[in-house]
Amino acid sequence: MQLRTLQKILWSAAAFATLAFGLWQFSQDRGPSVGEQAPFRPTFALPDAEGQLRTQADFEGKYLLVFFGFTNCPDVCPTTLAEVAQVMDDLGDQAANVQPLFISVDPVRDRALGLAEFTGAFHPSILGLAGDDTQTRAAADSFYIHYERQDDTTAPDGYSMSHSPALYLVGPDGEWLRQFSYGTPAAEILADLRSRL
Amino acid sequence: MKTQIISTLILMAASPAIACESTTFGDLSIANPWSRATIGAGRPAVFYVAITNDGASDDALVAISTPAAGRPMLHETTVTDGVASMPHAMSIPLPAGQTVQLAPGGYHGMLMGLTAALKEGETFPVTLTFEVAGDVTVNAEVLSLRVEGPDCETDGQ
């Protein structure tokens, strides 16, 4: 009888440990979210449309609004960049303290199609960055975001890009502050920025 | 605040007429066909519309075609585990009594192989093919690259 109780306790402990380990692993797979993860500073070194290498250090003192996407994307990317453009307009004078970045996850094709022309069509303040595969992967990893080429015969050139569609906010000291999930209204992003500026 | 009000008024004044039109086709009503201006003709354009099925039986949107693009297709943006992808949609179900939106972040028409850049203010015809109801053509209005959708609530329709 006593053994049975002990067995029960041991089995419960094993089950609890398995569950805890599973939850821990699950949380490791997720991107960072406020309050769950130690503060971190994303880094990147990517050329702009003119070929000049830009890093996070170039923007010290400014808030960064960072979006990873590709210019051939007809739905998610224009919707988000249109919101960023609206936020920048509505910020007025305070816009000088915010730098929106568009980081291409499809750099070769985006360069061929015209990177500056694309970002400029939404707002002149948006800076497009497109590096090589290694630079792009390193930037994405440092933001803990995912992107992947997907072969798709129904897409232009036979492929599309899947990517994390959120907008990321980095503080003036380079610290990752939060993400705005896809579809967050421009007014909400604006209010958040205004509360910090 | 003042500039916000003024820009809102300007937006209203420029409120698109065609993008706010609704076409009735049997039991289906097709409203707000619109698209975004494109930068050149090298990138795909988009097509959005709202379809209401007032009938007693289900239908489905199975294809779109337009002289504006060589390869128009139906796609769906899906966000799974924080990653957005855009698979081809073979058919978009239109359950009886419901409205289905082709709208930013969800179902949309992807217009590949544009014959020319889409310019704000232009319109172009899009033929919708329904599984049951057949074909109907509507005119889509090209709106600014920066809008989130047509602003139709102020013109009394």
Q: What confidence score (pLDDT) does residue A4 get?
A: 67
Q: Is B140 on the interface with A (CB under 8 A)?
A: no
- Chain B interface includes A18 (CB < 8 A): no
> Hey, are the CB atoms on B105 and A79 less than 8 Å from each other?
yes
pLDDT number for residue A16: 65
Note the pLDDT tens digit of each residue in B117-148: 999 999 999 999 999 999 999 999 999 998 88
B 52-71 residues with CB < 8 A to A: none
Q: Cβ A118–B4 below 8 Å, yes or no?
A: no
Provide the residue type at B5 as one letter: I
Beta bridge partners of A146: none
Going by their DSSP bridges, the two strands B69-76 and B99-102 should be labelled as unpaired
> What pLDDT sits at residue A35?
47
Nearest CA-CA partner of B129 in B137, B117, B141, B121: B137
Is the confidence metric ipTM above 0.85 for this complex? no
Q: Is residue A128 part of a domain?
A: yes
Residue A189 included in any domain? yes
Evaluate whether residue B79 is within a structural domain: yes
CATH number of the domain where residue A186 is located: 3.40.30.10
Q: Is A41 on the interface with B (CB under 8 A)?
A: no
Instruction: Tell me, yes or no, whether B86 lies in a domain.
Output: yes
Print the SS3 string covering A6-68.
HHHHHHHHHHHHHHHHHHHHHHHHCCCCCCCCCCCCCCCEEEECCCCEEEHHHHCCCEEEEEE
**A40 lies in a domain?**
no
Minimum Cα–Cα distance from A187: chain B residue = B4
Does residue A27 register a pLDDT over 90? no
The four Cα atoms A108, A109, A111, A112 give a dihedral, to 10 degrees, of 120
Percent of chain A with pLDDT over 70: 82
User: How many domains are there within chain B?
Assistant: 1
Closest listed residue to residue A90, CA positions, set A196, A197, A194: A194
- Kindly determine whether residue B112 and residue A117, on different chains, have CB atoms separated by under 8 Å: no
Of A74, A182, A183, which has the smallest distance from its Cβ to B110's Cβ?
A74
- Please state, in angstroms and rounded to a whole number, the distance separating the CA atoms of residues B14 and A112: 34
Q: Which domain holds residue B25?
A: 17-143
Which is more confidently placed, B100 or A38? B100
Beta bridge partners of A149: A161
Give Dmax over CA atoms of chain A in angstroms.
Answer: 78
Q: Which residue segment(s) compose the domain that A19 sits in?
A: 1-30
Q: Is A113 close to B77, i.e. CB distance below 8 A?
A: no
Please indicate whether, in this complex, the C-beta atoms of B83 and A164 are within 8 angstroms of each other. yes
